A and B are shown apart, each in its own frame.
Chain A
């Protein structure tokens, strides 16, 4: 077995995992704050990236486009809180989940009705090519784009962790996640909190959308990346930011290794289910995910 190739697969997998984590983060944020599994996260990523790239193509300055898109996502977050979530306070999680599915259709239709269905290329000014010096010295092909994406993810996670741990709003968010009614009772303004968290999730969606969009182009298929985040979430735990990152790394690395080394033996294409089997094995040991909160049943 070729050692440097093995490491290349491993590192490639870990970096791909970071890209999954970026998407998973958005899910975790909303789940943590409102106990909603937000099916519309993929559509939000799509909407953010499409808005951003469409503005760019109409000649808007990069930073202005970024600012406008961010504003759109914040307004959207507040609108979702007002129209969808507020009437559904205290409903069972499955109902809220379903509401986000309805939201998915609305967002997908909205983004394509406004901006059209054509795919776009997105150039962030980071070349997505293997780093030559690394290839020359070790024979490994690692794209610098991936390294920068990991850096962005790391900064994002650190910022979010600090936000949740040390700010007033962050603590309020965690209280709301625990119990809507109790949080209301101690005077936490539920509607503001939800609007904030959806706006933050919109921001995360924008970052994920830009990075994924620069990688594969901005098109409807961006909504599919939510599927990549699913095993990551389940493995890491729905309410842990750290879990999203660690889960992403484990899933990314193991699915790439499996596809490259086991795949050819059984006909290939095993990536599609391997991530879930890995997640399943972990869950059999820890049923609440790696970093999920342990639920204690009382009768």
Chain B
């Protein structure tokens, strides 16, 4: 017993001291995700994707220009306090510290925003997090890459316009915004109001209290409003419940449009047949047909490695989303290495430059074998979003079918709102925006 206690203490002490054996040719990327709790499907899927991709790069190319990628997993439980602990635990690991952090939670992104800026460690909040951080002048280290919530929302309205037969047809239409009653859920209320004014449709915001496993009254309200479309802004169990309750109250699922956090297999499978015909937004597409996914199957799963024991999850929405995060991470490292020295591990500060100068055009995507897995992306010092287009998918009862092209967002609405909101933050915190 005593000997065991000592052993436990020793192992723990060596881990707590936080000094991994530093080797010069390594690039450390923290894997702070969640494998337990209500949101484990998202956390383990996304985490699995990014790790699978990094493993593939190590196996296939021997790392980025010879620099091996390393990672350590840390369980955040989708809990802000645990997320901060993981961030602090991981930030000094590896020869150059944490390269970049993917918090995978809007709450954790908010909690580490200032710390990461002070520590000069970039935070990539891909498709979540603080929308106004797209203004890179005020938030140099925060990257809500690909598409933020507001941009996505303008694309959604465009998609609805397409379905209705033109943006002018939106006039007089009724849209209900059914949102999770949290910071995440409320994020799109202002932009929807602006669009409602611009296009002349009526928008009603209906809150669903957390966790959203009972929505009878919300859907009765919706039935009374008789909207033309319902935008679902849910998370976790709220999604299948909304779809099911829509079926119970006779609302057509072909008129329901979900945010991308309502659009994974895990959100529709529990709803069963009720989910047939339901639309959802996506900034990454599912499937294993892309060359990069084939490489993951070949170099990672083919060698008996890989994150999933359940092979059916390979190529799911969350998995490919993680792969996209991996592509962005690795490509940004590559970009930074090109400037600061090929084959050398880069620091967080250099990584910030790398992300800011990331340019994934169609040609590069083809080289990476990720055409159609994601959209081209060009980040700049001013624009920390980079892409801004969204595709839409429809659930056919078995799989997601892509039903639209990349629909670009309406930056004429979004950008001024972002700049205004960022400027207010800068004023409150006394930040002097960078010149870009």
Contact = CB atoms under 8 A, between A and B. Distances in A.
B277 interface: no
Interface residues of A, number: 48
Given A117-B40, A217-B237, A259-B217, 11 more contacts: A12-B217, A16-B216, A19-B214, A143-B248, A217-B271, A221-B213, A221-B237, A228-B213, A259-B221, A264-B221, A269-B181
Q: Identify the 3 closest CB pairs spanning chains A and B, nearest first.
A: A217-B270, A221-B237, A117-B40
B248 A130 contact: yes
Interface in B197-256: 205-211, 213-214, 216-218, 220-221, 223-224, 236-237, 240-241, 244, 247-250
A141 B270 contact: no
A256 B313 contact: no
B217 A216 contact: no
Interface string B264-284: 001001111110000000000
A104 to B, nearest CB: 12
Given A129-B248, A220-B37, A118 B266 contact: yes
Which of A129, A135, A259, A267 has the most CB atoms of chain B within a 10 A radius of its CB?
A: A259
Interface residues of B, number: 43
18 contacts: A12-B217, A13-B216, A16-B216, A116-B310, A118-B313, A119-B240, A120-B270, A129-B248, A129-B250, A216-B237, A216-B241, A217-B270, A218-B270, A256-B217, A256-B220, A267-B207, A269-B181, A271-B209
B213 A263 contact: no
B400 to A, nearest CB: 16
B44 interface: yes
B217 A117 contact: no
Nearest to A5: B224
Contacts of B217: 9, 12-13, 255-256, 259-260, 263, 271
B289 to A, nearest CB: 22
A269 B205 CA distance: 11
B235 to A, nearest CB: 10
Contact of A268 (B207, B220, B266, B310): B207
A279 to B, nearest CB: 16
Nearest to B223: A141
B27 to A, nearest CB: 29
B220 to A, nearest CB: 6
Interface of B: 35-38, 40-41, 44, 181, 205-211, 213-214, 216-218, 220-221, 223-224, 236-237, 240-241, 244, 247-250, 266, 269-274, 309-310, 313
B244 A12 contact: no
A273 to B, nearest CB: 9
Nearest to B266: A119
A285 to B, nearest CB: 26
Which of B36, B211, B217, B247 has the most CB atoms of chain A within a 10 A radius of its CB?
A: B217
B51 to A, nearest CB: 16
Interface string A251-292: 000011001100110011101100000000000000000000
A180 interface: no
Q: Describe A's contact surface by its main secondary structure.
A: helix
A228 B214 contact: yes
A260 B248 CA distance: 17
Contacts of A145: 248
Contacts of A121: 269-272
Contacts of A119: 41, 240, 266, 269-270
B220 A9 contact: yes
A117 B208 contact: no
A178 interface: no
Contacts of B206: 268
Contacts of A217: 237, 240, 269-272
Contacts of B224: 5, 260
A269 B41 CA distance: 27
A263 B209 CA distance: 12
Contact of A135 (B181, B216, B250): B250
Nearest to B211: A224
B216 A12 contact: yes
B213 A216 contact: yes
Interface in A132-149: 135, 141, 143, 145
B136 to A, nearest CB: 34
A212 B70 CA distance: 42
A282 B206 CA distance: 29
A256 B270 contact: no
Contact of A260 (B35, B44, B221, B272): B221
A224 B270 contact: no
A293 interface: no
A118 to B, nearest CB: 6
Nearest to B185: A269
A112 B220 contact: no
Nearest to A2: B224
Contacts of B266: 118-119, 219
A219 B209 contact: no
Which of B240, B241, B309 has the most CB atoms of chain A within a 10 A radius of its CB?
A: B240
Contacts of B250: 129-130, 135, 141
A218 B40 CA distance: 14
Contact of B36 (A112, A215, A259): A112
Contact of B249 (A108, A130, A216): A130
A225 interface: yes
B221 A117 contact: no
A179 interface: no
A272 B214 CA distance: 11
